[in-house]
């Protein structure tokens, strides 16, 4: 029994924090968020899936959402920022019952692949979106989409509205 306890303790305590530099490629951040939630990073050959990670700049709070045709998850984690590195602690994920139609947005969201834009607002939130649509992986980042009036920001806001 003592051995089982030690094995369980080691498996929970051995998860190292994940790190990325915001200046890196968007996919490096996406992979770090996925690993923090104990998910495999997305691959272009995978099934349709959508992942969204929202990180509060000042609070460090992370809210993540993962949608596939099989399940929906909500993940929460904390993070910190120092010396141009974001450190993500282990995420806790649970089943999520909202956003059933988010996969419908994959086509429109995949057109934003590789984009990064910032909407003018002090503090706020960085939103990372990635997915696989028709066998093609995409990823993009936007800061504070509610502070912009462009069509791309509105598409992200529409996605966020589906999660409420």
Domain boundaries, the chain: 17-162
**CA 149 to each of CA 9, 25, 152: distance values in angstroms, whole numbers, following the listed order:** 49, 25, 9
**Rounded distance, CA 27 to CA 33, Å?**
10
Cβ atoms 66, 51 nearer than 8 A: yes
Q: Would residue 148 be called left, alpha or beta, if left means φ above 0 and alpha means ψ between -120 and 50 degrees?
A: beta
Cα 137 from chain centroid (whole Å): 14
CATH annotation of 17-162: 3.30.1560
pLDDT of the chain, 164 residues: tens digit per residue: 443 333 333 344 446 799 999 888 888 999 999 999 999 999 888 899 999 999 999 999 999 999 998 889 999 999 999 999 999 999 999 999 887 788 988 999 999 999 999 998 878 999 999 999 999 999 999 999 999 999 999 999 999 998 87
């Amino acid at each position: 029994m003592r051995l089982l306890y030690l094995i369980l303790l080691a498996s929970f305590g051995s998860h190292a924090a994940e790190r990325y530099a915001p200046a890196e490629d968007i996919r490096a951040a996406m992979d770090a968020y996925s690993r923090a939630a104990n998910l495999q990073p997305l691959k272009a050959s995978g099934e349709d899936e959508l992942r969204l990670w929202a990180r509060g700049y000042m609070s460090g709070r992370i809210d993540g959402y993962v949608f596939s045709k099989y399940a929906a998850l909500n993940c929460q984690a904390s993070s910190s920022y120092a010396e141009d590195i974001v450190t993500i602690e282990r995420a806790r994920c649970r089943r999520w019952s909202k956003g059933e139609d988010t996969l419908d947005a994959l086509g429109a969201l995949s057109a934003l692949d590789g984009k990064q834009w910032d909407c003018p607002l002090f503090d706020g939130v960085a939103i990372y979106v990635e997915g696989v649509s028709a066998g093609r992986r995409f990823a993009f980042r936007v800061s504070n989409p509610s502070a912009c009036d462009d069509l791309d920001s509105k598409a992200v806001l529409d996605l966020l509205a589906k999660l409420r």
